[in-house]
Structure 1
């Protein structure tokens, strides 16, 4: 009798073990993203946008979290994000996903802190053709793709419609028309500039004009500057004519209007180059500011030019949940409806071209010139020292030129000499 009880008990325990194993296997295979405990995988999403940007990110995170029960994402606002990211990566405390200024890719991908997504793209049938090629190029290094574009932008020409109508002018389509319109719309009262015909407040726009002149910032080998030539001189000669002969602008004019005063909004400025990020601001003023936007005017030989910028989402190499991180990135940036939810809320141009077919973008005349511009806009050169060269060599010399302290030829020569030295000193990622 006792022997029978022992045998029965053994069989019962064996059946329980088998049943338990089957249950565990079922939980494990319930879907990628769940831990053995059955709890959702938790992901951290780092970004440095606070305020409205943070609310927009959190809205997307909440929508993703509600769309499934396997992954939970949390947005964490970070100040000095890049420094913290590099520290966290070496300390084993890396975030999973990051909001990423795309130009940084060629600086940090060589440090092995970002995870390539090419295999995920191929496996899940995500087409590169659905994204702006320049934006993907900016997210790439050594033939590997490290993220998908969240936004794309490029500067176009904003103009005051009322001023143009009163002066019987059409929006400029080339440099000659730009110069003529700026001259006609400028108003001086003695030695006081009351209305500037065109803004020269940003020396960093030299790259945009150089493209319009048919030039490029770097040589074909991408190891030296390429602006100390007739193309660069054409840009500075145009600026010289507009500033010193036509006097359409005065250095410091916009800053001199007082803190927080927008010269374009207040009718003190007839034209300026800026990006789609200003649309929401200008729209707030309604009839008080009747503005238009056109693609950047062409250069003397019909060349078009603008600089593409924007952000993306990347996966950290130190993430312990790369597959789940990819699911979040894919849900947001490879799904038309989800991408549109973000774009309509944030008023950013999507880097995902299928989303641009939506009437929100396709039928709004304010978006049209930016979409046209993005078709020919180029990213900044992909050299580890490019930003250092531009900030520490080119722009300071351009500023001296704008202030009348240095002629065009000297400006380009000094910028080249200093710039080439900085490029050489920063050619390797440290």
Structure 2
């Protein structure tokens, strides 16, 4: 459980590649490594390393998929290298870049990739996507879910392809909803009303209507967007946390916590535990946690899942990593990595990955495969996240994003714990976040 929820928290960890050299092994010997020199074919065996942060069932599934890819290839072998948690992976990638010893490819979040691009560390994949021998057709490119495609685009160029993507959904206790004659909420008003009706004492046990993770600050931009605002103006490099829309969003969340109809995970660490015990009637959590929720709830409660209730607008952040190829790789290694990336993001494999892990397919066509339809027909909870594709957004590509996340994480939690007022929390969050952006932009 800790492993999966680390996905939601990873952007809290800041790391900088500014100290890294703007050249790589290939730069030093052959000029710019970002010049696409795509071989027509591979004429000799190539082995590449893929650094990742998957564990448990996620790693087992990745290994099985990679084994299948390797068996299908004559000249390509992919070697998986587990680098621990995401924070470990980011630190090791930074160290490898400084030592001019980067892997051929790795998982990477968008804010990592922004740093990499500024330091010429990863490859522009646009030539590979458009290559007549190895690329995607326009139909294949547009088949990638638009929010994921946009998230991997910098100045009109593609630097990654989406891999393990998830978003927040609403988990709810079906027995409690039935007993209290409560319908699944679809709006903020219905959300508040349901939380009130579901909050009650059951003997010596108090059931709270709604639960939020301790990391709710990282999800705060979703509620701001639902209120009609935004937290970052990418064009002006400005943080816009202290706004009327942000105040509406924080008052909405804080109001439920203050009146006792909502709670944070607190000492439980993660909300899936209290939900599985029946301590909360519903909670907002990552779709990647479906299997963990099922495990916590087994033999204790009956449950289901639904899209997030909306405010003035429907909005939900899609998070998770992408696949990137490092510039220091040789032309043959880059082509091998690209072929592997195409395999992992193919219609069949992304559906396979989603079914086994709880992440969402990254291709729209995967939703129409018989395998996926049969799967969500039997386990409809796994189909909830994809219902939110049209409401999906990604965090803007801004320098200092990790500092913005740090500010949101601490200041929003401080408000919800009663340590600061709504106004003070928003003021402090905006100041700290803007300071981080300004520092990173110098």
Length-normalised TM-score, structure 1: 0.83
Larger C-alpha radius of gyration, 1 or 2?
1
State which of 384, 391, 395 in structure 1 corresponds to 2:399: 384
Give the aligned partner of residue 316 of structure 1. Answer: 326
Following the alignment from structure 2 to structure 1, what is the Cα–Cα distance between the partners of residues 235 and 269? 45
Q: Quick check: 1:344 aligned with 2:333?
A: no
Q: Give the whole-Å Cα distance in 2 for the aligned partners of 1:397 and 1:222.
A: 23
1:60 paired with 2:65, answer yes
8 A Cα contact 1:140 1:146, kept in partner: yes
Q: Relative to 1, partners in 2 of residues 1:91 and 1:226: Cα closer, same or farther, differing over 3 Å?
A: closer
| Residues 1:256 and 1:386: Cα distance change in structure 2 (over 3 Å) | closer
Distance 1:260 1:380 in 2: 24
CA distance in 2, matches of 1:400, 1:307: 22
Report the more deviating stretch, 233-242 or 360-369: 360-369
The answer to whether residue 53 in structure 2 is matched with residue 48 in structure 1 is yes
- After TM superposition, give the deviation of residue 116 of structure 1 in Å: 1.2
Alignment of 1:27-426 (within 5 A): 32-35=41-44, 40-79=45-84, 80-123=88-131, 124-126=135-137, 127-188=140-201, 194-200=206-212, 201=214, 202-219=216-233, 221-244=235-258, 246-250=259-263, 254-256=265-267, 262-284=273-295, 285-286=297-298, 288-299=300-311, 301=312, 303-320=313-330, 321-333=333-345, 335-362=346-373, 364=376, 365-391=380-406, 393-426=407-440
Cα RMSD (Å):
2.5
Question: Which portions of structure 1, spanning 4 or more consecutive aligned residues, are displaced by more than 6 angstroms?
Answer: 258-261
Structure 1 counterpart SS, 2:414: helix
Q: Could you say if the C-alpha distance between residues 93 and 221 of structure 1 is closer, same or farther in structure 2, counting changes exceeding 3 Å?
A: closer
**Structure 1, unaligned runs of 5 or more:** 1-29
- The question of whether the paired residues in 2 share the 8 Å contact of 1:102 and 1:309 is answered with no
The answer (yes or no) to whether the contact 2:355–2:372 under 8 Å persists in 1 is no
1-structure distance, mates of 2:79, 2:57: 17
In 2, distance between residues paired with 1:170 and 1:417?
40
Q: Distance in 2 between matches of 1:222 and 1:134?
A: 22
Q: In the TM superposition, what is the alpha-carbon distance from 1:249 to its structure 2 partner?
A: 3.2
C-alpha separation in 2, matches of 1:259 and 1:412? 25
SS at match of 2:398: coil
Which has a greater percent of strand? 2
1:222 to partner: Cα distance: 4.1
Provide structure 2 residue ranges, at least 5 long, that are not aligned to the other structure.
1-38
Deviation at 1:174, TM superposition (A): 0.8
SS at match of 1:292: strand
Task: Measure the CA separation in 1 of the matches of 2:236 and 2:294.
Answer: 41
Q: Distance in 2 between matches of 1:121 and 1:415?
A: 40
- Within 2, Cα distance between the matches of 1:199 and 1:344? 26
Q: How many Å apart are 1:189 and its aligned residue?
A: 7.6
Contact 2:195-2:262 within 8 A present in 1 as well: no
Q: In the alignment, is the contact (CA less than 8 A) between 2:234 and 2:398 conserved in 1?
A: no
Whether the aligned pair in 1 keeps the contact of 2:148 and 2:362 (CA below 8 Å) is yes
Contact kept in structure 2, 1:106 and 1:384, CA below 8 Å: yes
Moved more, 256-265 or 166-175: 256-265
Q: What do residues 382-421 of structure 1 show as CA deviations (whole Å, max 9, x unaligned)?
A: 1111221221x23322122112122111221222222222
